[in-house]
Amino acid sequence: MAEEKNGIGTGFITEVDRYLYNNGKHYEIYEKLGAHKKNYKGEDGMYFAVWAPHAKQIGVVGDFNGWNPEKNPMTRLADSGIWEAFVPGLSIGALYKYAITSESGKILFKADPYAFEAEYRPQTASVTADLSSYVWNDASWMEKRKKQDPTDGPVSIYEVHLGSWKRKNREEKDGFYTYVEAAHELGDYVAGMGYTHVELLGIAEHPYDGSWGYQVTGYFAPTSRYGTPQEFMYFIDYLHQKGIGVILDWVPAHFPKDAHGLSDFDGQACYEYADPRKGEHPDWGTKVFDYGKYEVDNFLIANALYWVEKFHVDGLRVDAVASMLYLDYGRGNGEWVPNQNGGNENLEAIEFFRHLNSVIKKRGNGAIIIAEESTAWPKVTEEPENGGLGFTFKWNMGWMHDFLEYMKLDPYFRKYNHHKMTFGLTYFTSENYILVLSHDEVVHLKCSMIEKMPGLLEDKFANLKVGYTFMLGHPGKKLLFMGQDFGQFHEWDENTSLDWYLAEEPLGMELKNYVRDLLHLYKKYPALYEKDYDWEGFSWVNANDSERSIFSFIRHSSNGRNSLLFVLNFTPVERSDYRVGVPKKGTYSLVLDESQGLYHTGKKPPSYSAQAMKWDEKEYSIAFSLPAYGVRVFSF
């Protein structure tokens, strides 16, 4: 095709499309750019379109033309940086790339940034695909999602790396479970345990397993490691029918320098900042997206909407938000460029987040956006019109750090570090927090959760029980990485399966059943989630019993019914007649302890009548035996 001066081309990309895209507001641009099955001048084939503003010439190449850049040249649409071509006779399942001739004359073979499917690694071609054939069966889930406010509902997330959750003993495709196989086993496990959501690491296509999916080359392609895009749709559909939401890790912060990826896409800085002081992460060896370009912002925002709307994903957890917000992130003096005001804030990234979160909220589909933001940046979950970034939730990294530092201590020294467990309760209303014990905490010689715990084997499991109970009672939504709910011993390794046999051994099974009971308790009692970010939802009974390392507090329900009293002993010392103040006269029924777990329907739980004895600055109190590492949760 010759260059179209009037910008009409095949007519598939209109002048309105180009205007919206070049101004960062074409939220369905993935329906136009990329590879799409079309009929042109009476012939069926594939239509290709790509943004490459600095290219001298582009050809679509693949098996169908012997990878010859001259066989299927593309036409540049005027004033847009977009190139297009139609290849007659080509259908679904074809391998292809773009052969991009740069201004210097060098030919670059690039995968399609908007491809819906990618070749199985280590091969790097894009694959033509059609997403319209899948028939969804989750209409009731999607309708319910639109009406829910996730901030006052239960959110307990099971964080999963599909490639290492379970593996099969065979060589085919590295022994990975397919999306379909994983849907059934993972869906059944998560539903049985009582989690509300699954969060998946590394689903967008990536070349290197060791990146865990955080260095993406195919932003619109579910990784072919586990199957096809339609099979991934089935995975999400099945989990929805089991009552489980699906969250994806999403990486708009950076991308790798692989030759077939986005780096110097058309021979120059295209998706990244041109100045390496802004455009490269020195610590990670990756490129930084240029949030000052409308087309780049459009690529990312449309990508977020693509997962939410095309794949029915319930939320995105945005990785490495701090690296986007700070121009000096990971950089020393002289290695970064201040903003127009002389500060270190990336004003373009701030505007990008506000745009992204505003658009997703206005679409009204109920999707959540979670920030993994590791600093004290203010108003991360505040609305943009109030000066915030507009995220639904933020990972509480400060709580995680303090909690783990406390739990790793020998119990004798915990009394000197009591504040590590109470400090999080001074700021829990400042953001919509998620309490996280994520994959990052069980790799790189940090030890698994069970191996962080002090003492002999039985002590380790007892510590973890009381620690998880504290996490459950603390305001904020919850996230736990796979394997930590049954006491996985070795650190997470993306190349091997979890040690599932441990879940069948006595201590592992006991811990798994206890975590299951915690999760079911969480969903049963609204006091544990409906006022997560309200001072009225939490009150201390005794925050100062540091000498005995005992914490007692109340989670209040909105209607005053079925509030919960937590009493937690973080030492191996039994307190045979422990007394705790209670807010009112009445009966306090034990609903969970460290040995029984959850007192299920049909088994009458022990109950205690409040006595008119002042304790903990309260008019009434109850007394009971509190064992070593004891847990007592009462409803009243």
Q: Phi/psi of residue 538, each to 5°?
A: -145, 140
Q: Is 125 helix (H, G, I), strand (E, B) or coil?
A: coil
- Return the H-helix or E-strand segment holding 62: strand 57-62
**Strand-pair category, 368-371 with 107-110:** unpaired
- Looking at residue 11, its pLDDT comes to 83
pLDDT, residue 170, reads 64
For residues 159 and 93, what is the distance between their CA atoms, to the nearest angstrom?
Answer: 32
Nearest to 379 by CA among 442, 301, 328, 431: 431
Higher-confidence residue of 78 and 422: namely: 422
Q: What ranges do the domains of the chain cover? A: 15-127, 535-635
Average pLDDT over residues 252-260: 97
Question: What does the alpha-carbon distance between residue 172 and residue 192 come to, in Å, rounded to a whole number?
Answer: 29
- If DSSP codes are grouped into helix, strand and coil, which group holds residue 281? strand
pLDDT cut 90: percent of the chain above it: 94
Q: Is the peptide bond before 122 cis (omega within 30 degrees of 0)?
A: yes
Are 113 and 266 within 8 A, CB to CB? no
DSSP state letter for 308: I
Burial (CB count within 10 angstroms: exposed 0-12, middle 13-18, buried 19+), residue 596: middle
Going through 161-289 in order, the beta strands assigned E by DSSP cover 197-200, 204-205, 218-222, 245-250, 254-255, 280-281, 286-288
pLDDT of 96 over the 80 cut:
yes
pLDDT above 70 coverage of the chain, percent: 98
- Res 368: pLDDT: 97
* Whole-number Cα distances in Å, 194 to 64, 86, 197, 482, 510: 49, 50, 9, 14, 16
d(CA 373, CA 423): 19
pLDDT at res. 6: 39
Q: Catalytic residue numbers?
A: 319, 372
CA 158, 160, 164, 166 dihedral sign is positive
Check whether 535 has a pLDDT greater than 70.
Answer: yes
Q: Give the span between the Cα atoms of 346 and 343, in whole angstroms.
A: 8
Structure tokens at 221: 């392609």
Classified as helix, coil or strand, 473 is helix
Cβ atoms of 239 and 246 closer than 8 Å:
yes
CA distance readout (Å), 351 to 79, 388, 604: 25, 10, 56
Q: How far is CA 356 from CA 146, 148, 227, 279, 389, in A?
A: 18, 20, 29, 21, 9
Stated pTM of the model = 0.95
Architecture of domain 535-635: Sandwich (2.60)
Reference 252, options 199, 285, 204, 309; nearest CA is 204
Instruction: Give the count of beta carbons closer than 10 Å to the beta carbon of residue 422.
Output: 16
Closest by CA position to 518, among listed 472, 575, 459: 472
Q: Tell me the per-residue pLDDT of 149-208, one tens digit each, with 9 for 90 and over.
A: 999 999 999 999 999 999 987 666 788 999 999 999 999 999 999 999 999 999 999 999
Per-residue pLDDT, averaged over 31-53, amounts to 97
d(Cα 195, Cα 516) in Å, to the nearest integer?
8
Which token pair is 503? Answer: 């879940």
Find, among 258, 255, 261, the residue nearest to 273 by Cα: 255
Compute the mean pLDDT over every residue in the chain, rounded to the nearest whole number.
Answer: 95
Q: Which of 392, 362, 386 has its CA nearest to residue 533?
A: 392
Confirm whether 15-127 and 535-635 share one CATH topology: yes
> Across residues 96-119, what is the average pLDDT?
98
Q: Which has the minimum average pLDDT: 21-35, 376-390, 547-561, 597-611?
A: 597-611
Assess whether pLDDT exceeds 90 at residue 518. Answer: yes
Distance CA(202)–CA(256), nearest Å, equals: 14
Q: What's the pLDDT score for residue 391? A: 98
Which tokens is 61 given?
A: 């190449």
Confidence of residue 9 (pLDDT cuts 50, 70, 90): low
306: DSSP letter: I
Nearest to 371 by CA among 382, 361, 387, 363: 382
What is the C-alpha separation between 14 and 629, in angstroms, rounded?
67
Contacts of 276 (CB under 8 A, 6+ apart): none
Q: Are 579 and 622 within 8 A, CB to CB? A: yes
For range 232-238, the mean pLDDT? 98
pLDDT at 173: 72
| pLDDT tens, position by position, 308-365 | 999 999 999 999 999 999 999 999 998 999 999 999 999 999 999 999 999 999 999 9
Identify the pLDDT of residue 149.
94
DSSP state of 177: P
What is the per-residue pLDDT for 166?
95
CATH topology assigned to domain 15-127? Immunoglobulin-like (2.60.40)
Predicted confidence band of residue 463 (pLDDT cuts 50, 70, 90): very high
Rounded CA-CA distance 41/546 in Å is 79
Confidence of residue 425 (pLDDT cuts 50, 70, 90): very high
Q: What is the pLDDT of residues 114-123, one digit of tens each?
A: 999 999 999 9
Q: For the packed helices 139-147 and 229-241, what is the interaxial angle rounded to 10 degrees?
A: 70
Q: Are 589 and 634 in contact (CB under 8 A)?
A: yes
Give the residue-averaged pLDDT of 285-310: 97
Helix (H, G, I), strand (E, B) or coil at 437: strand
- Residue 78's pLDDT band, with cuts at 50, 70 and 90, is confident
**What are the structure tokens assigned to 376, written together?**
């004290």
Residues 281-294: b if buried by 16+ CB within 10 A, e if exposed: beebebbbbbbebe
**CB atoms < 10 A from the CB of 149, how many?**
9
**Stretch 399-422: mean pLDDT, rounded?**
98
